[in-house]
Every structure is written in C-alpha cells, then in structure tokens.
C-alpha cells in the first residue's frame, strides 16, 4: 500500500496543478484590465470614451453576452484579434492583443469582465 501511495501521490499533485493552471485568475485579470483596458473602457467597464468616429464599448452591457453568444472563446477572440462574433473588425481604436497577451492572460481578463457585469446588476 505504501508503494501505491508513493506512485499515486505525484499523479494527484499533477492533476491538482493542472486544474489550478486552467482556472482563470481574477486578480491577474483585474491587473491586466487596469494596465491595458481601463484607459478606454474605464475602471468600471462602462466605456463611452470618444474617439474620432467611434466610442469605446460598455463591457457591462447586458446585450454584450448575447452578442457573443455567452461564449468566452468569442470574447477572447475579440480581444486577441480585434474581431467580433461575425468576424467583422471591431472599432479601429480597439487594439489587437495577439502577441502582447497570451491566451492565459486573456482568459484572466475575460473572467474579470464577468465580475464587471455582475457588479452592474
């Protein structure tokens, strides 16, 4: 039994570490949002910052989740590639974060965005 425990323990530790690694970090998401998103979308996500021919999106808008079909992968794609759910380009001021943020960081930001919507209710 002792030998079985010694063999199983590392496998369990790896499973726990893998599960933890795939869980988005709200703390990291908040930090990344403040560093990269807040200047256009404001601290609370309400957007409304005017550019020459566009306005930054309200990230808390109830319709936004419907627009992105409640799929985080589509929101992640919008952040990374600057394209919406129908593959159309987002407003020109929206930067493309591919190459500057990795997928893990984008997942963290998306998790944080969900808290902004929850705070609005």
In the numeric block, which tokens belong to residue 95? Answer: 């930067």
Task: Single out the residue of 19, 112, 43, 17 nearest to residue 72, CA to CA.
Answer: 112
Both structure tokens of 33 = 């949002």
Number of domains into which the chain is organized: 1
Instruction: Quote the percentage of the chain above a pLDDT of 70.
Output: 79
Give domain status of residue 9, yes or no.
no
Is the pTM value of this prediction over 0.85? no
Name the residue with tokens 């256009």.
40
Here the CATH number for the domain that contains residue 98 is: 1.10.760.10
Nearest residue to 117 via CA among 57, 47, 45, 23: 45
DSSP string, 105-120: HHHHHHHHHHHHHHHH
Q: What is the pLDDT, as a whole number, of residue 47?
A: 93
Please give the DSSP secondary-structure letter assigned to residue 17: H
CB 90, CB 117: distance < 8 Å:
no
Determine, yes or no, domain membership for 74.
yes
Over residues 45-76, the pLDDT tens digits come to 999 999 888 899 999 988 887 778 778 999 99
Structural domain boundaries enclosing 55: 25-120
Which range (2-11, 38-47, 59-68, 82-91) has the least confidence?
A: 2-11
Q: What is the pLDDT of residue 63?
A: 81
Confidence of residue 21 (pLDDT cuts 50, 70, 90): low
- Does some domain include residue 98? yes
């Amino acid at each position: 039994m002792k030998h079985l425990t010694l063999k199983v323990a590392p496998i369990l530790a790896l499973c726990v570490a893998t599960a933890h690694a795939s869980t988005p970090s709200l703390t990291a998401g908040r930090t990344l949002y403040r560093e990269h998103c807040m200047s256009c979308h404001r601290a609370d996500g309400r957007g409304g910052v005017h550019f020459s021919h566009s306005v930054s999106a309200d990230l808390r808008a109830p319709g936004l989740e419907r627009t992105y079909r409640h799929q985080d992968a589509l929101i992640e794609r919008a952040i990374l590639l600057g394209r919406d759910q129908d593959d159309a380009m987002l407003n020109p001021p929206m930067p493309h974060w591919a190459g500057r943020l990795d997928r893990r960081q984008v997942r963290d930001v998306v998790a944080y965005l969900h808290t902004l919507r929850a705070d609005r209710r």
